[in-house]
Amino acid sequence: MSRGNARRDIFCSDEDRHLFIVLLGDLSERFDIQVHAYVLMGNHYHLLLKTRQANLSKAMQWFGTTYTRKFNLKNSLDGHLFRGRFKSIIVENDAYLLRLSCYIHRNPLRADIVSRLADYPWSSYPQYAYKKKGPPWLVTQAVLGQLHGNDRHRAYREKVQQYANEQSSIWEDVKHGLIYGSRNFVDDIISRFLLNQKSEELPQHNDLFRAVDPQQLLQNAAEIVGFDLQSARSGKRLRKGEKEKRDLLIYLLCKTGRLSNQTIGGMLAITYSAVSKSISGLNDRMRVDKKLKDEYKVVDSQLSVFLRWGW
């Protein structure tokens, strides 16, 4: 979804809405993206898309730029039309896809624009609910295929009506503002795609990335490594075995990407430069010490379990 800059309208006329839908078809063809549902509101829009390639950002950048340019030219305006980057969530298929399509199509009712969805022409609802002829690029089978009976269009209308009692909870089920699906699906997406690096373009991603309490992360990591935190904070010189465990702990914390070297040093009562030196030294040792490298893999795997289930 995307909103108008300063919540201003993104459509001045039905001609603008027609232009938007035409460009949506162009987006589908140009970027090999399936469009499953859409709704055009006054100052925002919702799209339900399926990408075949990892090109959503590129596609939406093209779409937003192209529509803005044509909209401004037609209406003798200039400047930004949309408020920053579009917002997106990843959706698990099947029942979640069906529920989200209902949410999208009910937008005109929630906004009190119409009293009957059948009266609103600027969404894909008529194609779903009444088998109206729609644009050739609109894909309805994935959603309608979740319904049973001889008349799936009627079943969809009934589902949308029933959904009035569910819509308030849908965003509560969207985990971290990013993912809508089962617990297993959420955990899989987090572990595969969201734990390794931050993204300047995705503030929700970064909120998720910072979601672990630093002290809790330190405590769990120390327990996994077998390092006594009290000994680190006592100010006494560490024995060789303790120092090796501390170096492994520092390296482990650094590789999570959630704590800066300065933060790690502060929690372990050592300087920033000592943290950097420890990380560099352990990195060099692991290049030649297979046993140490295998030990790190074990503790890293154990900490990943905490990161995955600790949200």
pLDDT tens, residue by residue, 75-113: 999 999 999 889 888 888 777 889 899 999 999 998 999
pLDDT for the residue numbered 127: 97
* Cβ 277 vs Cβ 228: under 8 Å: no
Q: Which amino acid is located at 226 in the chain?
A: G
| Per-residue model confidence (pLDDT) at position 129 | 96
Torsion of CA 174, 178, 179, 184, to 10 degrees: -110
Look at residue 311 in the predicted model and tell me its pLDDT. Answer: 40
Dihedral angle of Cα 140, 144, 149, 153, to the nearest 10 degrees: -60
The strand pairing partners of 3, in sequence order, are 44
- CA 311 to CA 242: how far, in whole Å? 30
What is the predicted pLDDT for the residue at 158? 93
**Structure confidence at residue 133 (pLDDT):** 93
Cα separation values, 27 from 54, 67, 71, 94, 187, Å: 14, 11, 16, 24, 31
pTM over 0.75: no
Rounded Cα gap, residues 244 and 185, in angstroms: 37
Going along the chain from its start, the domains and CATH numbers come out as 2-172 (3.30.70.1290), 212-309 (1.10.1750.10)
Note down pLDDT in tens along the chain; length 311 residues: 999 998 899 999 999 999 999 999 999 999 999 999 999 999 999 999 999 888 999 999 999 999 999 999 999 999 999 998 898 888 887 778 898 999 999 999 989 999 999 999 999 999 999 999 999 999 999 999 999 989 999 999 999 988 876 555 565 566 555 788 877 787 777 766 665 555 555 555 555 555 567 888 888 899 999 998 887 777 778 888 898 999 999 988 887 767 778 889 889 988 888 998 998 899 889 889 999 888 888 888 888 766 655 54
Alpha helices for 131-239 (secondary structure H): 141-144, 152-162, 167-170, 183-189, 203-209, 214-225, 229-233
